[in-house]
Amino acid sequence: MSDSEGSGSANAGDSSGAETPPGPARDPDVEALLGQLEELEETVDSEQELEQVQSTISLAERIPGSGFLSGHIQKYTTRDVAEAVVGAILISMPMLVEDGVFDVAAYLTDRWMFGVPIFFAINVVFVVVMSIGLLYWADIREVKISNPIFGIVPRRLVGVLTASFLTATGLVFLWGRHRVGDPSDFEVLARIVVVWTAAAFGAALGDILPGESAGYDITIQNLDDIVKPEE
């Protein structure tokens, strides 16, 4: 009798165990991992260790649940450059058909102070500050600075400004806007800068709005540093 009861108890235990559904698989806590890596990045001393930590962060950003879904942007890739060019073209093209660009450019070149075209210089500073604000100060996305040039200048900022300026220059010459009214060389440059003002705005938005992009990470100096085999 006791054996049957024991057998029944065992069967009941087996039955209850079979009816218990397995718990859902939990995704790794990517945010906590990235937070710990960022804290480690601030504490390492040697340059080699810093590069290894940054490479690990770059790999962690590729884990599902990070990157675009988390709103963080760590990598700066070749695809980001292409997105910046597209954004620059879309925003700057309407300005190329407006003659108001010529009036603004003439205004920028006519006002001089202490031998400096003061409003031209202010406009250039405005473009740089506006780009910094969109990339790093606005709450559109959290953009992290990785491996800056000379340890100071963010590569993404340089990429956005350069891509937008080259785009503005190419469009001005492609559409013949540099020839209207027989301007001087400085006036042509001013026209490019006026178009560049809008192009930089579009390039910054085109870069960060889609989120983190795939492609070759140009913030990593040496691809061998991404994954190093154990010796």
pLDDT 10s digits, 189-201: 999 999 999 999 9
The DSSP symbol for 46 reads S
Q: Residue 107 has what pLDDT? A: 93
Alpha-carbon distance values, 145 to 160, 198, 225 (Å): 14, 24, 18
**Residue of 24, 41, 2, 25 whose CA lies nearest to 144:** 41
What pTM did the predictor assign? 0.63
Residues in the chain with pLDDT < 70? 1-31, 33-34, 58-72, 74, 139-141, 210-231
The reported pLDDT for the residue numbered 29 is: 60
Instruction: Count CB-CB contacts under 10 A for residue 181.
Output: 12
CA 111 to chain centre: 36
Alpha helices in 44-99 (DSSP H): 47-61, 78-96
Structure tokens at 104: 């603004």
